[in-house]
Amino acid sequence: MADAPSLAVPRLDDLALAGRRVLIRVDFNCPQDDAGRITDDTRIRAALPTIREVLAKGGRPILLSHLGRPKGRVVESLRLAPMGERLAELLECQVVSLPESTGPAVEAAIAAARPGAVVLLENVRFHVGDEQGDLQLAAQWARLGDVFVNDAFGAAHRDHASVCGLARLLPAAAGRLLEREITAFRRVLEVPERPLVAILGGAKVSDKLQVVDHLLDVVDALLVGGGMAYTFLVAQGVAVGRSLVQHDQVDAVRAALAKAAARGVQVLLPDDHVCAEAFEAGARPIPCGAAIPDGLLGLDIGPRTRERYAARIRTAQTLVWNGPMGVFEWPAFRAGTEAVGRAVAECPGYTVVGGGDSVAAVELLGLADRIRHISTGGGASLELLEAGTLPGIQALQAATGS
C-alpha cells in the first residue's frame, strides 16, 4: 500500500485562533421527534471538544451545519434553532442562532456577538449551492471568517461548499472529531498491526464491492455476513434458497474471490444459517446447514459460523467492522450480529466500528464502551474504506497555512 493516499491533514494546533473568527463545519444533523425535540444529541456532544478549544484559545466560533434534506429550500421544521438551544445548555454559554447563513445581517450579527459567545448559522442546505459545491456560495461564507475548521466527518465524503469549498478559500484544518476519525482509519488503512481483519455485512453486495476490492489490498482476512453473503455463496455454487441475491453481481464477486486467493487473503463465508419462510419480524427461525432449501431465505448466520467468525476475530491486532450479520433489528435473527459484536468487544487489538447499522448494533447490545473507535459517519466511513480518502480530507490537505 505504498501508493495509497495518505490521510494526514493539518490539525487545529496548526491554526492561529486568538482573536480570529473561526468557521467550524459541524454535523448537527440530529434526529428529532414530531414536536421538534432532539431525541439524540450525540452529534452535538461530539463537536464540543473543538468548540471549547477554539473558545479557550480566544477564537470566535461560527458554526455551519446541515439538517435533513431541504434541497435548497427553507423548511421550517429543519431550522437549527433547537440545536443551538441544546448546544447552549451543554456549553453553558451564549449561542446566537441566526435565521440565515449569508448576507449583511449575518455579518452584522457576528460582529455584534460578545466575546465568548458561539454563533450558529442557519441550515446550510437551505442554499441549493451547498450540495452543488458552489464556490460563490462558499465565498459568501468565507467572508464571515478568518480560518476554517472541518469537524464534520459525517459530511466529509461530500464535495459541498460548506465542506470542501471553504477549505479551498481559507486557511483550514481538521477539528478534534475529524482528527480522531482520521487517526482511527489511518491505523486501519495505513499502519495496521497484523493480522488485520475486516468484517463486512449488510444487505446488498453492490454497496460493498468497491470496499471489498480496496480492503483486499490491505487485510489478512475478510469475514462476510448479512444479505451480501448470499451472492458470495451463489458465486461459489452454494444453494441459498430464496435468500437475497444480486445475480448481476455474481461475476464481480467471483473476481473478488479470485483476487483474494491470489493475494492470500482468507475469506470466510457462512456455512450455516438461521432461515425463515418469509421476511417478517414474527417469522419462525429455522436452522439450516450450508445449503438453504428452496422454500427458505437466510436472515442470519448460524451457530457454527458464529463460532468460526468469533475465533478469527479474536486473533486480530487491527479490526474494522461495517455491517450487521443479519436482520439484527428482529430478536430472532440477532444472534449472529451479537456474537460478532461480543467477539469484537473481546478482541485484544485496535477495533473500529463504522456504518449506521453496526454502530446501532453495538449500542443496542451495550458494547459501545468496549470498542476502541466508533465512527460518527456511516456513509463517510464506508467511502473512506472504499477509496482510502475523502473529498473533505483532500480539501484540507490542499489548504493554505494559518
- Give the DSSP letter string of 319-333: EEEES-SS-TTSGGG
pLDDT, block means (10 residues), the chain with 402 residues: 69 96 97 90 95 98 97 97 97 97 97 96 98 98 98 96 98 97 93 96 92 95 97 98 97 98 98 97 97 97 98 98 95 97 97 89 93 90 91 92 58
Q: Please give the distance of CA 74 from its chain centroid, rounded to a whole number.
A: 27
Q: Considering the candidates 204, 304, 308, 370, report the single residue annotated as catalytic.
A: 204
Cell 493539518 belongs to 10
User: Catalytic: 401?
Assistant: no
Q: Does residue 185 sit within a domain? A: no
- The whole-number pLDDT of residue 6 equals 76
Last residue of one domain, picked from the residues 125, 144, 178 = 178
Q: Is residue 395 part of a domain?
A: no
Pair 220, 351 in one domain: yes
pLDDT at 2: 40
Instruction: Find where cell 463517510 sits.
Output: 380
Shared domain for 248 and 291, answered yes or no, is yes
Cell of 27: 454535523
Q: Which of 342, 354, 368, 13 is nearest to 171 (CA)?
A: 13
**Domain match, 216 and 172 both:** no
C-alpha closest to that of 356 among 333, 384, 375, 331: 375
| CA pair distance 7, 23, nearest whole angstrom | 22
The continuous run of DSSP H or E covering 48 comes out as: helix 42-56
Instruction: Return d(Cα 105, Cα 108) in angstroms, integer.
Output: 5
Confirm whether 6 is domain-assigned. Answer: no
187 is a domain residue = no
DSSP β-ladder status, 297-301 and 273-276: antiparallel
Q: Distance (Å, rounded) from C-alpha 31 to C-alpha 25?
A: 18
**Contact residues for 282 (Cβ-Cβ < 8 A; gap 6+):** none
Domain-located, residue 184: no
Taking only the tens place, the pLDDT of each residue in 210-265 is 999 999 999 999 999 999 999 999 999 999 999 999 999 999 999 999 999 999 99
At 145-162, the pLDDT tens digits run 999 999 999 999 999 999
Q: For residues 344 and 234, state if they share a domain.
A: yes
Active site residue 19: no
What is residue 252's predicted lDDT score, i.e. its pLDDT? 97
Catalytic residue among 20, 21, 43, 242: 43
CATH number of the domain at 268, please.
3.40.50.1260
Do 164 and 204 sit in the same domain of this protein? Answer: no
- Is 204 considered catalytic here? yes
Q: Are residues 203 and 296 in the same domain?
A: yes
Residues in Cβ contact with 331 at an 8 Å cutoff, skipping those fewer than 6 apart = none
Give a yes or no: residue 5 inside a domain.
Answer: no
The active-site residue, picked from 304, 356, 370, 372, is 356
Number of domains the chain contains: 2
493516499: which residue's cell? 5
Listed residues 151, 178, 205: the one ending a domain: 178
Residues 380 and 318 occupy one common structural domain: yes
Question: Is 313 part of a structural domain of the chain?
Answer: yes
Residues 215 and 350 in one domain: yes
Strands across the sheet with 286-288, in order?
Answer: 286-288, 273-276, 297-301
**Which structural domain range is residue 148 located in?**
12-178
Q: How far apart are CA 275 and CA 59, in angstroms?
A: 57
Does residue 200 share a domain with residue 148? Answer: no
Do 26 and 112 lie in one domain? The reply is yes
Residues 377 and 235 placed together within one structural domain of the fold: yes
Whether 290 is covered by a domain: the verdict is: yes
CB-CB contact of 269 with 224 (8 Å) = yes
SS3 134: coil
CA 283 to chain centre: 31
From CA 36, how far away is CA 76, in angstroms rounded?
10
pTM for the model stands at 0.91
**DSSP designation for 161:** I
300-338: per-residue pLDDT in tens?
Answer: 999 999 999 999 999 999 999 999 999 999 999 999 999
Q: In this structure, are 165 and 213 located in the same domain?
A: no
Strands, E, within 226-296: which ranges?
266-268, 273-276, 286-288
pLDDT of the residue at 402? 56
Is the CB of residue 184 less than 8 Å from the CB of residue 381?
no
Residue 106: the pLDDT is: 98
Active-site annotation holds for 379:
yes
Q: Which three cell numbers stand for residue 156?
A: 466529509
